[in-house]
Amino acid sequence: MNSNDTLSYILEQRCSVARFGDGEISLLNGVNQVFQDADYTLRQRLDEILKMGSRPELLVCLSDVFHGLDMLVDSAHDWWQGHLATFNQYYQEIGEIGNYYGNTMVTRPYMDFKDRSSAGEIFDRLKEIWRGRDLLIVEGYYTRSGVGNDLYSTASSVRRIICPSKNAWEKYYEIEKMIKLYGQNCLVLVMLGMTATVIAADLAEYTQVIDLGHLDPEYEWYKIKAKTRVPIRGKHTAEMNYDVGIEDIDNQKYRSEIIAKIGVE
């Protein structure tokens, strides 16, 4: 699916969303990532979820890069060209299964594209998913999604569970338990790398769980009309600061939203 079809499907079906970007594909093929080691069990789970594909309560997503890369800026074009060449055989195996997939890039509609004119509409449609709903955000220590911007302004309420910013998979069962404790009747938004992909798939029958990935930095860059990636003060920034030197933030609203912490002080 393209991004608009993906959003329409999520809005109509109220389904959970598990995303497979380049990082998930690399990891399940044994390549360690900056924030997640290639744990054998995690690799197996990712492979299983991707090959099983979408079902009514879960939309599994792949990146929309199989019909050409001309829509991407040069740096993204070159990255994806190398990635597709490296993992071509695995993608061929996935293609032969015949599943249908949503578009992972729906949560990254701005920075990698030459034409950024549709990004605003995509962000607005994403905000419709949580309009009037109670949110449970499950995120890494430095993610701080929506802090300092209006990304979740349409939501009825926001609560947060804070998790490790690296190797969250080690706390998978604790995280799942907390989501079941606090997430009933909520829309659960998870930003924990590859762990989020598995959580969305495993809890799809419990409640709607969306793996949002790097949506917040994309939205921050869109808001300031950034031409290239720039660090975002007080937050994890995709492909930028690798959680080094990020300062604590004095935001009382954010602190009041935290209801639990797992594996962090």
pLDDT tens digit sequence for 145-184: 999 999 999 999 999 999 999 999 999 999 999 999 999 9
CA–CA gap between residue 36 and residue 194 (Å, rounded):
7
- The pTM of this model reads 0.96
**Number of structural domains the chain divides into:** 1
The bridge status of strand 157-163 relative to strand 102-103 is: unpaired
The length of the chain in residues reads: 265
Asked if the model's pLDDT at residue 238 lies above 60, the reply is: yes
- DSSP single-letter state for residue 241: T
Q: Which two tokens stand for residue 172?
A: 């998978």
SS3 66: strand
Contact of 114 with 71, CB cutoff 8 Å: yes
pLDDT tens digit sequence for 101-146: 999 999 999 999 999 999 999 999 999 999 999 999 999 999 999 9
Q: Which domain holds residue 132?
A: 3-261
Q: What is the dihedral of CA 155, 160, 163, 165, to 10 degrees?
A: 50
